[in-house]
Amino acid sequence: MNKINKLLGIGALSFALVACTTNPITGRSSLQLANNQEISAMALQQYRETLSQSKVITGTTAAKSVQNVGLRIKNAANNYYRSIGREGDLANYQWEFNLLDDKQINAWCMPGGKVAVYTGILPITKNDTGLAVVLGHEISHALAGHGNERISQAMVAQYGGAILGSTISSGQMAAIFQQVYPIGAQVALLKYGRNQELEADEMGLYLMSMAGYDPREAQPFWQRMEAASTGNRPPEFLSTHPSPSNRRADLEKHMPKALEYYRASGGKI
């Protein structure tokens, strides 16, 4: 906590009375009260601590795939945001893509572009296109500001209308951040709401297509994820996700637009 407090400084954080953000890819609006630069600073601290407690794999074919696929999707996002004059939205992102030796079927991206993929998910991704489904989805959580949205929801729940047009202390903000993004290995348990998961599905489908990966491989990947469930307990990666039938229907709804992006990237239909 002390390290995060130092990052935030001794001043309080201020929030605007109205802080509604619209996703330029999906058009969904969400309440985002927190300061993205402060969130990114805290996320970097948590990410560093998580990596220090993990076995980071480097130099292998799988580790290079995580890097390469992640960079392609990141570059596609940069190009899209630049094309619509919203490149400033990505100014605070400092991307990192790391493969962690862990049997959990999981992956995540923290605010500011700090990405981790666990080796446990690789048998399900199977190839770079499957990995692109995962990384497109996780990167979309960050780009859509879902961390800020969840932090804002927690702020409102704890402090109510008192935070609007007012301030909370750096210690209060740090405590909220650590609720949303638990430190160390527990960060793998972070959860988003179903609306956020559906938005990450849609946005991730478009981003992987812009990066030149066939979006039609998304359905088979999610089917493999469902098949990985043991008994009534799904992998953590699916713990708050939409039902399989809802996900399939949603992916099909967005597929025509995704294929347009894929065709524009040079992909063959």
- The domain segmentation of the chain, as residue ranges, is 19-264
138 catalytic, yes or no?
yes
Compute the mean pLDDT over every residue in the chain, rounded to the nearest whole number: 84
In sequence order, what DSSP letters do the residues of 149-173 get, joined into one string? Answer: HHHHHHHHHHHGGGGTTSEE-HHHH
Comparing 210 with 164, the larger pLDDT belongs to 210
CB atoms within 10 A of CB 101: 11
Distances (CA, A) of 23 to 86, 140, 205: 10, 10, 15
Spell out the residues 6+ positions from residue 16 whose beta carbon is closer than 8 angstroms to its own.
33, 165
Confidence of residue 189 (pLDDT cuts 50, 70, 90): very low
Tens digit of each residue's pLDDT (9 = 90 or more) over 58-116: 999 999 999 999 999 999 999 999 999 999 999 889 999 999 999 999 999 999 999 99
Nearest to 171 by CA among 3, 5, 15: 5
Mean pLDDT of 191-216: 92
Confidence of residue 157 (pLDDT cuts 50, 70, 90): confident
Lowest-pLDDT range of 53-62, 147-156, 255-264: 147-156
Note the pLDDT of residue 14: 41
Distances (CA, A) of 50 to 53, 56, 172: 5, 10, 22
Asked if pLDDT for residue 230 goes beyond 80, the answer is no
Tens digit of each residue's pLDDT (9 = 90 or more) over 110-140: 999 999 999 999 999 999 999 999 999 999 9
Note the pLDDT of residue 150: 87
Note the pLDDT of residue 80: 97
Note the pLDDT of residue 15: 42
Mean pLDDT of 192-197: 82
Note the pLDDT of residue 54: 94
Asked if pLDDT for residue 185 goes beyond 60, the answer is no
pTM, 2 dp? 0.84
Please identify which of the residues 38, 138, 202, 217 carries the catalytic annotation: 138
Spell out the residues 6+ positions from residue 118 whose beta carbon is closer than 8 angstroms to its own.
99, 100, 102, 103, 104, 105, 106, 107, 188
